[in-house]
Amino acid sequence: MARRKPELTSKIGWSTPDRITVHGLDLPTEILGEMNLGDLAFLLVKHRKPTPEESRMFNAVVITLVEHGITPSAIVARMTYLGAPESLQAAVAAGLNGLGSVFVGSMEGAAKMLYDALPEDQVGTGVDLDALAVKTVADYRARKQIVPGLGHPVHKPIDPRTPRLFELAAQNGFSGEYIALMRSIGAEAEAKAGRPLAINATGALGAICCEMGFPWFITRGFGTMARAIGLVGHILEERENPIAAELWLRTDEEILRNCGPDAAKAPDKADHKG
């Protein structure tokens, strides 16, 4: 049986000897100097230019996730660069591989949770959001799963990014039922847990992405594109002020001290080239 060969198409962009277009816009004259990086990213996923309100909100979404200090993804990127300084892109890719259900990618879980609880076709129909929150939290607790978008290992009792993100959402017309539902879920989860569980940045971002109509499965991509910028900054700093080797040596020495033979002496790796 002959294999069906579907037509190969792409509407994102194309080039000719004298033109480059992205979603129908001429790159040199309609994009360069006219759009910022966030607006171009919006164009690629929405297939149109953002409104001024969408531009402010989407840029806030991606900027939020660019940098958050010496996180696991930054450490991995620096360590990879230590071992392969000839491959900056591999170091960035290594750091990005660590974005998942715990770090950055949890905005995907929050967005999916909100869409599952409140499908887009039910927005504006008078659904009881508090009842949805009770059901959602109960479902997660029954499965013994963490409710995505709540709590933070460092920012307690409030993630300082969240109030500002919700303020921007209100200022730009994106404070609707998904943000209200996220707040209700946070309050219900706190009540059931008996301890503070603040809505973290990824919870706020997941709700905002729902307000903006982005599919839940693409939201991790926003974190990926944002954190790539931050990791490039970490690698530049690693060249100028190296810490990866010291992190490695201290980790090795402490593990040897705690787990090795009593008489073991940590070897000097200062000149190690392997």
Q: Residues 106-215: name the CATH superfamily.
A: Cytochrome P450-Terp, domain 2 (1.10.230.10)
CA dihedral sign of residues 49, 232, 203, 98? positive
pTM for the whole structure: 0.88
**Residue 98 DSSP label:** T
Mapped onto helix, strand or coil, the DSSP state of residue 19 is strand
Could you give the CA distance from residue 239 to residue 233 in angstroms, rounded to a whole number?
10
Confidence (pLDDT) at 265: 57
Residues 6+ positions from 256 with CB-CB distance below 8 Å: 264, 266
Strand order in the sheet with 13-16: 13-16, 19-22, 25-26
Give dist(CA 234, CA 78) in Å, integer. Answer: 7
Which 3 state secondary structure label does DSSP give 23?
Answer: coil
Spatial CB neighbours of 127, under 8 Å, sequence gap ≥ 6: 118, 177
Average confidence (pLDDT) per 10 residues, the chain, 274 residues: 84 92 95 96 96 98 93 95 96 92 82 97 96 97 94 82 97 98 97 92 96 96 94 96 94 85 54 45
C-alpha to C-alpha distance for 173 and 60, rounded to whole angstroms: 14
What span, in angstroms and rounded, lies between the C-alpha atoms of 148 and 206?
9
Intervals of CATH 1.10.230.10 along the chain: 106-215
Summarised one tens digit per residue, pLDDT across range 206-220 is 999 999 999 999 999
For residue 99, what pLDDT is reported?
Answer: 86
Amino acid of residue 181: L
Q: What's the confidence (pLDDT) of residue 4?
A: 85
| Rounded-to-integer distance, Cα 247 and Cα 230, Å | 19
Three-state DSSP string of 127-140: CCHHHHHHHHHHHH
Structure tokens at 79: 């360590």
| Omega within 30 of 0 (cis) for the link into 153 | no
